[in-house]
Structure 1
Amino acid sequence: MLSVLRVHLPSEIPVIGCEITPYVLLKRPDNSISNEDVPESAPINGYCMRYKWYRVQSDQKFTVCSVHPTEQATLQCLVCVKAKVPLARSFHCTPTCFSDAWQHHRALHERASTASNENGTEEEEMFGRFSSTGSGVKNAGISASTSNAGQSPSLTNASTPIYPTTVAERSGDGLFEVGRSRTYTPTADDIGHFLKFECVAIDAETKLPIGNTNTIMMSRVIPAPTPIPRRMIPVNGVDVLGHMDPDSRIASSGTFSILSYNILSDAYATNESYSYCPSWALSWPYRRQNLLREIIGYHADILCLQEVQSDHFEEFFAPELDKHGYQALYKKKTSELVQVYIGNPNAVDGCATFFRRDKFSHVKKYEVEFNKAAQSLTDAVIQPSQKKVALSRLIKDNIALIVVLEAKFSSNQGADNPGKRQLLCVANTHVNVHQDHKDVKLWQVHTLLKGLEKIAVSADIPMLVCGDFNSVPGSAPHALLAMGKVDQLHPDLAVDPLGILRPASKLTHQLPLVSAYSSFARMMGIGHSLERQRRRMDPTTNEPLFTNCTRDFICTVDYIFYTADSLTVESLLELLDEESLRKDTALPSAEWSSDHLALLAEFRCKPRVRR
């Protein structure tokens, strides 16, 4: 006979758009224990499982707080209503909540004012980009007024629900059946209502229960928090007064954009490491939807993602991004150490590169395994008696994925190369994280650059080097990337127990690499947007103040480098300030689902100049 031994949910707080998959442990007719489903379509020995999901309907209207989505809202900001800020962001649970969030909340008013003044249609792109679809939210009939956007807040009692409710099939007093499968994805109609899950083993022929019905009540369904959208800031289309050209992106035919983003592998997103993040916001069903919504919202032509688990790539990111026109390439970390650490071979992460099929076609793929390079290095320069020690230090399972693409759009080839096809080389990597292995970091970066140099010699091709380098500005790996060499007196070179960095004069490369985000530091002109971005840059390194922000660690480790002789930066995704992220303690949070920030740059190909 089939029976249910245990049922539990990954999170007690359901979020709109995030699939809920209960863990159901079964005892099968052969007395084996398994969590594999036995659906009605495939019974075992005449027995199967039946599942039902209910919405607990009530007449009570429930509006959720935009800061604390598990709390009921009691106040609404009238400035948001007048400025046409998304309605869901205007509600707060208490006056203290609103007061504490005011500095960050005011940014919504400023954004709405800018959007209204500069471009009436930009508002939809800015605020609609990350909003939950299907919410049914309407804000029609309210005139836009942003003259008091910077003044003290105006409040009103929240008396109407954020989302409308509709009646589903009635199945008892206050219960409305909404699903009959093992999984369920809350919809906008569920917002503010409790969910109830039932499962029971049944006789496949009579459909009668053969045991007790297992029931779990969940909390109220909450809307997915929506972060303030990040805008693209032109860096090659700013006039002498620092005014932004709203048509620069449209006029930039022949340009392309690239995103680099460490999305935080689920294997590393533990409650122990990120105890400040709500458990429901740290769960993979929520994070994957939030990450996908963010990534798609950037509309990048090329995506370089790090810490993508192999199972998540195959089962989620590749098929989901395929729906949006992206072709996928992937390289999993070699698993000598990683698999031992996480215990699940399917959860080994790697680098994934996606590109829009309407903008590029795939030409060639190179896979760099630093473990293999370590083996070759030790065979060549390490004494036999020291090989075991050397390999133990060098083998860290890190990899790089290099992809050569051909552009389908027209580019400025120059008069001497009419009709010649435009190729592009994109490197995506995740360098060793251990801070006490500075020699390994530098060796990995040097190995990657030497490989890229070989490609550059064989083909005159623009290059982009993206990823999480786990190296701060001013470190030896960063110096090698940005300057083409490492000063022989650099303190990082003092850590070289294997002697693999000697002589230091060999630590060079000939690629004219420049960090894309250093363009913010070089921007001329004045203006609020420009000045705000300059304040988020480190003037001593010309890099962002941070790209990684956790409770105990904040620094810059992510970069997009480009060959400056063949590419020019057109615009950059704006940086965020630490204060706005610290309101939720740090990253990841309910709004941002990684502990890293996404970097995005738009480029234009220059006329070819032979290197």
Structure 2
Amino acid sequence: MTSGSNAPSPKCPIFIPVEQTHINTSITKSPGPKFRVASYNILAQVYVKSSLFPHSPRSCLRWKTRSQAILTVLKSLEADILCLQELDMFDSFYKPNIENLGYSSIYIQRSGDKRDGCGIFYNPNIAELVFEERIEYNDLVDSVNEETITLDVEPSTNTKAPAQKDVHPDRGDPDDPRVRLKRDCVGIMAAFRLKDPTHHLVVVANTHIYWDPEWADVKLAQVKYLLSRLNKFSVSVSDKFECDPSVIVAGDFNSTPGDKVYQYLTSGDPSSPSKPECSDELPMPLRSLYAHARGREPTFTNCTPDFTNTLDYIFFSPSERIKPVSFLDLPELDSADVSGCLPNLHHPSDHLPIGADFEVIAD
């Protein structure tokens, strides 16, 4: 790694204990084994252009420097299950280097000619992979052909958007649902058996939802498909292993707190005031980790001069089997390490990692 004042110096992560007032007080059993989940949009190098990040020091955009800074962040998180988005150079760089840290991995590359994707890295000493499935949101096009899905296209009131890292050439009429839904976005789901005395099964999904705020209908269609697939996957795991698995969903949802996508994702939680506007049925119950653990979402997880807001989330199924006991502390806007926006010498991506420790409650 380079030396001197311009050398990257990723911030050491700090996990904050969850206050007892924010957790399920009906769970009073003795402390059980814990596992850590983290999620991070690492910013694919294919999207790193000085024209997109003119505010960033040139040195922290160079792959030789940035790649090592990313590895430093990932190692410091000490996650047992690590969900990464915008993961490019999987076979040539990330897979061998992260596996050198003791992880195993699964991966899905985006559809079409896209070079990045979503990956789940896991500690095989903590969790055993027993089942996996991949999600390609382009499959929604078939639903249009079968007339099982429609899009409610509305003009957007958003005036700002995340960095436009994924701009497409014209692929047809944007008013055609088949064109709108073909965004080459993906996700991946996995079931893990924890290697502790509980042998509890945990279903983990990792996804990256389409970015454009003008296409909120596409985002909503994608998260509906995600939860539909996730529900079927969880039922399959339950039937196959005769268990009631916990569910954790992580990723870059390109959606801000309170918007339609966020409302839909949390509307299945009985404690949530949100109700989906476009469905007669509630989705599977999910609770936002940060909103639950500390009473509010982070101030931001994505920080650039043109857009600063929360886009990244970890959701979990409220149950008597797992509970969050700590969460990764995140900076505020006046924190020195985010001065000048991201990426910078402290944060190698334009996103921040998020994470939590979960405790398994024994039967």
Paired residue type of 1:287 = R
- Residue 230 of structure 1 and its aligned partner are, at CA, apart by 2.6
Deviation, 1:518, is 1.6
Report the residue type matching 1:294 in the other structure: V
Counterpart residue number, 1:515 = 288
1:276-308 Cα shifts (integer Å, max 9, x gaps)? 111121011111100100110111100000000
Distance (whole Å) between structure 2 residues aligned to residue 326 and residue 583 of structure 1: 29
Q: Relative to 1, partners in 2 of residues 1:571 and 1:440: Cα closer, same or farther, differing over 3 Å?
A: same
Work out whether residues 261 and 598 of structure 1, in 8 Å CA contact, stay in contact via their aligned partners in 2: yes
SS at match of 1:292: helix
CA contact (8 A) 1:236 1:569 kept: no
CA distance 1:591–1:233, shift in 2 (3 Å): same
* Counterpart pick for 1:360 among 109, 127, 133: 127
Query: Structure 2 matches for 1:128-147, cutoff 5 A?
Result: none
Is 1:505 the counterpart of 2:259 in the alignment?
no
Shift of residue 263, structure 1, vs aligned partner: 0.4
Name the aligned partner's letter for residue 567 of structure 1: I
1:584, distance to aligned residue in structure 2 (A): 3.8
Quick one: which amino acid aligns to residue 308 of structure 1?
A: L
Q: Equivalent residues in 2 for 1:4-23 (5 A)?
A: 15-16=2-3
Query: In the alignment, what sits opposite 1:452?
Result: 230
Q: 2:98 aligns with which of 313, 321, 325?
A: 321
User: Could you tell me which residue of structure 1 aligns to residue 211 of structure 2?
Assistant: 433
Q: Give the match for residue 473 of structure 1.
A: 257
Tell me if 1:378 matches 2:130.
no
Distance 1:578 1:382, change over 3 A: closer
Instruction: Identify which of 529, 537, 543 aligns with 2:297.
Output: 543
For these two proteins, the number of residue pairs brought into alignment is 323
Match of 1:275 in 2: 54
Change (3 A) 1:365 1:277: same
Note the C-alpha offset of 1:512.
2.4
**Letter paired with 1:319:** P
Per-residue deviation, 1:357: 1.0
TM-score of the pair, normalised by structure 2: 0.83
Which residue does 1:199 correspond to in 2? none
- The reply on whether 1:461 has 2:239 as its aligned counterpart is no
- 1:560 — aligned with what? 314
> Partners in 1 of 2:33 and 2:337 — Cα distance?
39
TM-score, structure 1 normalization = 0.50
The answer to whether the aligner puts 1:291 opposite 2:77 as a matched pair is no
On the 8 A contact 2:135/2:187 being kept in 1, the answer is yes
Equivalence for 2:116: 349
CA-to-aligned-CA distance 1:459-497 (integer Å, 9 cap, x gap): 121000000000101111111111228646x6xxxxxxx
Preserved CA contact (<8 Å) 2:32 2:360 = no
- RMSD (CA atoms): 2.5
Cα distance, 1:582 vs structure 2 = 7.2
Q: CA deviation at 1:544?
A: 1.1
Evaluate the alpha carbon distance shift between residue 232 and residue 382 of structure 1 in structure 2; reply closer, same or farther with a 3 A threshold. closer
Inter-partner Cα distance in structure 1 for 2:83 and 2:19: 23
Contact 2:40/2:354 (<8 A) preserved:
yes
1:110-153 per-residue CA deviation (whole Å, 9 max, x = no partner) reads xxxxxxxxxxxxxxxxxxxxxxxxxxxxxxxxxxxxxxxxxxxx
Q: Structure 1, residues 417-439: CA drift from partner, whole Å, max 9, x if none?
A: xxxx4211000000010111111
Cα displacement string for residues 57-89 of structure 1 (whole angstroms, at most 9, x for unaligned residues)? xxxxxxx4xxxx25xxxxxxxxxxxxxxxxxxx
The answer as to whether partners of 2:10 and 2:69 remain within 8 angstroms in 1 is: no
Alignment partner of 1:331 is 2:108: yes
Gaps of 5+ in 2: 22-29, 151-172, 239-243
Candidates 164, 169, 180, aligned match of 1:393: 180
Residues 247-279 of structure 1: per-residue CA shift (max 9 Å, x gap): xxxx96511000000000111111001011111
Contact 1:235 1:570 (C-alpha < 8 Å) held by counterparts? yes
Shift of 1:603: 0.3
Alpha-carbon distance between aligned partners in 2 of 1:321 and 1:505, rounded to the nearest angstrom? 41
The structure whose Rg is larger is 1
* Whole-angstrom distance in 1 between the partners of 2:245 and 2:197: 15
Aligned to 1:535: none
User: How much has 1:388 moved relative to structure 2?
Assistant: 9.0
Counterpart in the other structure of 2:220 = 442
Alignment partner, residue 230 of structure 1: 13
1:595 to 326, 350, 356: 350
Is the CA contact 2:10–2:73 (under 8 Å) kept in the aligned structure 1?
no
1:325 and 1:552 mapped to 2: Cα distance?
38
Q: Separation in 1 of the partners of 2:197 and 2:324?
A: 17
1:327–1:357 Cα contact (<8 Å) kept: yes
CA distance in 1, matches of 2:124, 2:148: 44
Can you list the C-alpha shifts for 1:83-111, whole angstroms capped at 9, x where unaligned? Answer: xxxxxxxxxxxxxxxxxxxxxxxxxxxxx
Distance 1:517 1:262, change over 3 A: same
Whose RCO is larger (CA < 8 A, sep 6+)? 2
Q: Tell me, what secondary structure is at the counterpart of 2:256? A: coil
Q: Could you tell me how far apart the structure 1 residues matched to 2:360 and 2:32 are?
A: 11
Q: Is residue 306–residue 429 contact of structure 1 (8 Å, CA) maintained in 2? A: yes
Query: How far apart, CA to CA, are the structure 2 residues paired with 1:515 and 1:322?
Result: 29
Structure 1 residue runs of 5 or longer lacking an equivalent are 1-13, 17-63, 71-223, 239-250, 340-344, 412-420, 491-503, 523-541
SS of 1:478's equivalent in the other structure is helix
C-alpha separation between the residues in 1 aligned to 2:127 and 2:149?
43
SS in 2 for 1:579: coil
Paired AA for residue 15 in structure 1: T
Identity, in percent, stands at 33
Equivalents in 2 of 1:360, 1:307: separation in Å? 24
